[in-house]
Structures are given as C-alpha cells and as structure tokens.
Amino acid sequence: MKLTLLKSLVFVVIFSFSSNLIKAQEILPHNMTQEELKMLPLPKRNNSEARNILLTPPTLPVRTAAEWEEVQTLLMTWTGFPSILAQIADAAQEECEVLITCSDSNQVRNYLLGQGIPLNNIKFLVTGLNSIWQRDYSAHTAYLNDVDSLVMVEWIYNRPRPMDDIMPVAQMNYKGVPLYSLTEAPNDLVNTGGNWMVDGFGTAFASKLVLDENIVGNQYGVTPKSEADIDTIVKRFQGINRYIKMETLPYDAIHHIDMHMKLIDEETLLVGEYPQGISDGPQIEANLQYVLSNFNSVFGTPYKVIRIPMPPSTSGANPGSPFGSGSYRTYTNSVFINKTVLVPFYRQEYDTTAMRIYTNALPGYKIIGIDCDNSGSNIIAQSGAIHCITNSIGVYNPLLISHQALPNTANTSTDYQVNALIQHRSGIANAYLYYSTDTALGYQQVAMSLSNASTNTWTGFIPAQQAGTTVFYYIEATAFSGKHQVRPIAAPQGFWKFQITPLTNSKYVANRTILQDIYPNPANAITCVPIDHSGTGNIRIAMYDVTGRFVHLIYEGEMFEGKNNFFINSAQFDAGIYNVVYETTDHKYTRKLCIKK
C-alpha cells in the first residue's frame, strides 16, 4: 500500500513553529530541551484533511489491548542509535512485521544489510520525524466490542515536536486502520505512552504526570481538565474504567512509569527495586503499597509482585539521582513482541540477574538483551530504553484468552478447575486444556466446555495429583473462522504451573513488630505507614508535631491480624519533623516522619 501523506496537514503544523524548530535528524532527548520549552504552548493541530481520523468517541464498547496480546506490527523511528534499532528490528521481524519510520529508506536498508540483517519482514514509511521516542507519540491498540474491530487511539504528544505528533496519522493511513484522535477540544488530552500501562480489561496505570500536564494553566495550551474529566475521556475513547495514578518520583525526571514498573500479565507487576532508602526506592515502594492496599487485579485478587533490581550506575550507590549521578538504568523498560521479550542490558554482572528474573517469570518466552549502555549505543543516558523507542499494532483478528493462574494447593483428592475467558468475533469452536507433570514427556489434552456464555467462560479440569507434584498447563482455542491461539502465547514451551504441597501444622507467630518504618522518609507526597499486627482490637494512629500538638488522625477503628498499610499525603502538611503514634489499650509505638518541601 502506498502512503499519500497529507502535505497540507504537515505544513500547517510545521510552519506554525518558529525558525528555531529542531531538525528531525538531531538526537532529541526524552525530556524537553530548553529550546523546546520556549516553543510552548503547543499550536493547535489541523485535522480537517486527515483521512481515517475520528474525533468523537466510539459508539461501541472499546477495550484497550494489553502489551502481551498478539501484535502484527512493531513501530520504530530511525534516528540516532542505529546499532540498537538494528538489533530490535532483527529480533522483532522473527515475530511480526517491523515498520520503520525514516527520512531515507535506502540509507536504513544499506545499514541493516551491512550488519548482516535480512529485510524479510521489514517495511519502511518515509515521512517527517523529530525523535526516536516512538512509544510516547504513536497510537495505542484498542478493539471495539472486545475483539471485533481493530482501532488505534492517539493523544497530543507532550513535546513541541510536530512531525512526531502527527506521525500516527501517517502510520495508520499506511496500515489502513481507523485512528481515534484526542487532539481537539473538549477531548484534547496531553499524554505519553511511557506513562501508560494497561491490563487489557479496563485498568490503566500512570504517574500523576497526566494530571499535571492537563490542569488549569497547563503549559501546553489544552483545555483545562480535572482528574474526573481525564477519567471520562479515557473511558469513552479507550474503555478504561479504572485509571490508577501514582505519585511522581523525585529522581525520575520524565515521570514515566515504564522506567520502574511493568505489567507482565493481568495480575503481575514487575517493579524496579533499589537498595533500602536509596533514590526513588522509597517512593516506588510507597506507590506500590498504595496500589496493593487499594486495588485488586481484574480477577478480584491482590496483585502479585516480582522485584527486579535497578542496576547501579558506574558512580556508585549513594543517595541521589538515581544512584549517585548515573543514568536512570532500568530493566522494566522492556517490550513484548508476541513470543519474544526485548530487555535493556547494561552490565553483565547485573544483566544476568535480570535475565534470570524474566526467564522465571515468563517461561517459554525468548528473552533477548539489547545493549543500551555502551559507547555508541548509550541511549539510557537520554532517559529511555527499549520500551520507549518502540510501539506495536495489534492483530486485526484477535482470539482473546484470559486466565488466572491456579495457586499452589494441598488438595490431592478433587480435580483442579481451570476457567478461562475465551473470545473471538466468529465465536469459539473448541477449546482444550493441556497439562503435564513432566514437560519432557509431553502434555495430556482435556476438552473444555462453555460454562457461562454471558461471560465467555470456558472450563476444564486437571485430574487430582499426589502431594509433591508440580503441574504445568496451558490453554488452546480455535474460532469458527479457523483462527487459533494459545495462552500463554509461548505455549507449549510457555506454561502456567502450580504445586501440590503437603499439609503443615504451622501456626501464626505472635508478638511481631507492630509499627514498621514509614516510607518514603523524608516525604513530600503519598506516604505509607505500614503496620504488622499480631492480634485484633481497636487502634488509633495519629500524627503529632515535635511539641506534642495533634496534627492529623490517620486511622481509628478495628485492626485485624496481619499486614496493613495506611496512607497520608505529606504534601498537605508543613515541612518539619512529626511523630506518628500507634496506640492500643495497652501499648504505644512511635515513628519519626520528616516532611520536606
């Protein structure tokens, strides 16, 4: 398909800028330059001549796809860091089409061929561009009626880079995919893909950057919006029913959550971990505990958490930004490409740990490390890595399978029920459950049946096993159209597993620590007050200043046994030292809290 670029649209936008506009081939950083700051507010974009662009919300229910769902195309922009881009293109073309936006396709072809990389599944889109940060300015995959019609949704790019901002129009015209555009009032929303993480079922995560960039008096010149306004827009255009927003981090200058957090399935959060008390670690932990204490996964159960260490910089591990003065190295800035996951690598001694964690968390996936930190490929110094410079377009014809992995169990007498949501626009012809207690010996097949048509739930049973057994399993489905899919998408090499554990007589250990360390501390935003309680009864948790004057009641009421987290917004209190006091009928515990501005 040949692209007819809408020249009038491009030129209206480009020439509205001053002659100081930064040229496309310069390597623009992830953050905004001082020169770009002078260009704000953003000019209004002219959408009047754009094809396939829709400015009103869908009339059908819409579902934003998760990153681990099947993709047809990986999107990249060729400008700067060619060695990294070449590695990504080479790995990705084994899984899907790679569409490279560039200003000179012959130059890119020659470079790739010179590196010994074939062009088997690589296509080129020659159009205007400003920067490499494809995740932030390109559109995001969604489906009408859950699985029926592929559409893409774009926002206003939060940088004065007009050719980047308009690139989704060119990409979707090339692909022939309808584009919903949040670029005109009252739905003109400034947002960025690095600060967007979804579960595929109506939940999205972000930092509060999205609130800051759309408030009254915002620097972009878009219609001022409250949090409720923003929630309504993403619900109507992207099917997001729950938009979870966390405090921005003190040392992550761009405030994109993909630098320290990643959903790897519907209920599992991969979270960057710093040494205790270092850099952004305390605020990341407070944000995580806020999420865990207030929200459950789409399955109605608490999120699972996998910690992955943030590699230190070469300058050493000292309090600061983020370890000393080093770049913001992160392993969560990875990208799913069907059965492959590309992970940024930095130093072998730390990369091996990251590889082990990814391999254990995503069995069967091909985990490929991409060097982001050596001379000539030091993209991490620009505050971004693999996820930041790629985006994807979902398939036209998805077969959706969602299942909550079975937990370990002591049950040895009754079969293990496996439920899965399975959907396709033509309907599901059949579904099968495959299980094994030794994958080297292969899998046993069990037919699944439609147990609830209104929820598209299919059910199968794994026979009961003896204690000490590990069960591996996956799901396969075929639609009436002939479309076939498995979940995990890497099956049969990929699988879920659970263990049959022997019964024990262990008892709860009483008399544990009650009031634990508050974090982050010092604090200036959402702050977590953790309690590990060994009994039941009424408690009171309150803040006092250093003179003993009462300041704020954090909680008063019944406390149940186990771990509990309470939260305060430190920003609403004056800077200073406070005492947080936990009181029961016969005990009192105190912790210091420092609030800074």
Q: Check the CA dihedral 88-93-96-101 and report its sign.
A: positive
Over 90: is that where the pLDDT of 105 sits?
yes
Paired tokens of 454: 């209104």
**CA-wise closest residue to 23 among 195, 187, 164:** 164
Is the Cβ–Cβ distance between 292 and 303 less than 8 Å? yes
Over 60: is that where the pLDDT of 18 sits?
no
Question: Where do the DSSP E strands lie in 332-487?
Answer: 335-337, 340-345, 366-371, 391-394, 400-402, 416-423, 428-436, 444-452, 457-462, 470-479, 484-487
**pLDDT of amino acid 564:** 77
Is the Cβ–Cβ distance between 49 and 6 less than 8 Å? yes
Q: How far apart are CA 559 and CA 542, in angstroms?
A: 14
Mean pLDDT of 307-316: 73
Over 70: is that where the pLDDT of 180 sits?
yes
Mean pLDDT of 341-366: 95
**Structure-model confidence comparison of residues 366 and 407, the more confident one:** 366
**Structure-model confidence comparison of residues 123 and 46, the more confident one:** 123
**pLDDT of amino acid 448:** 98
**pLDDT of amino acid 50:** 66
DSSP state of 146: T
pTM for the model stands at 0.83
Average pLDDT, the chain: 87
Which DSSP string corresponds to 35-61? HHHTTPSPPPP--TT-TTEE-S--SS-
Mean pLDDT of 242-258: 93
Domains of the chain as residue ranges with CATH: 7-394 (3.75.10.10), 400-499 (2.60.40.10), 526-595 (2.60.40.3080)
**pLDDT of amino acid 556:** 73
- 158 pLDDT tier (thresholds 50, 70, 90): very high
**pLDDT of amino acid 375:** 61
Q: How far apart are CA 344 and CA 390, in angstroms?
A: 12
Percent of the chain at pLDDT exceeding 70: 88
Mean pLDDT of 89-110: 97
Is the Cβ–Cβ distance between 400 and 64 less than 8 Å? no
- 1 pLDDT tier (thresholds 50, 70, 90): very low
**Structure-model confidence comparison of residues 4 and 209, the more confident one:** 209
Over 90: is that where the pLDDT of 357 sits?
yes
**pLDDT of amino acid 321:** 55
**pLDDT of amino acid 237:** 98
**pLDDT of amino acid 16:** 37
**Structure-model confidence comparison of residues 557 and 121, the more confident one:** 121
Q: How far apart are CA 122 and CA 90, in angstroms?
A: 9
Over 70: is that where the pLDDT of 102 sits?
yes
Q: How far apart are CA 130 and CA 147, in angstroms?
A: 34
Mean pLDDT of 240-245: 97
Residues ≥6 apart with Cβ < 8 Å to 525:
247, 248, 283, 286, 569, 570, 571
**pLDDT of amino acid 10:** 37
In tens, the pLDDT along 494-534 reads 999 999 987 654 333 333 446 678 888 888 888 888 887 66
- 536 pLDDT tier (thresholds 50, 70, 90): low
**Structure-model confidence comparison of residues 36 and 511, the more confident one:** 36
**pLDDT of amino acid 514:** 61
**Structure-model confidence comparison of residues 23 and 91, the more confident one:** 91
Mean pLDDT of 99-124: 97
Q: How far apart are CA 315 and CA 302, in angstroms?
A: 37
Over 80: is that where the pLDDT of 149 sits?
yes
Paired tokens of 18: 């001053």
Mean pLDDT of 436-450: 96
**pLDDT of amino acid 48:** 67
**pLDDT of amino acid 542:** 87
Paired tokens of 460: 């199968």
**Structure-model confidence comparison of residues 259 and 328, the more confident one:** 259
**pLDDT of amino acid 315:** 45
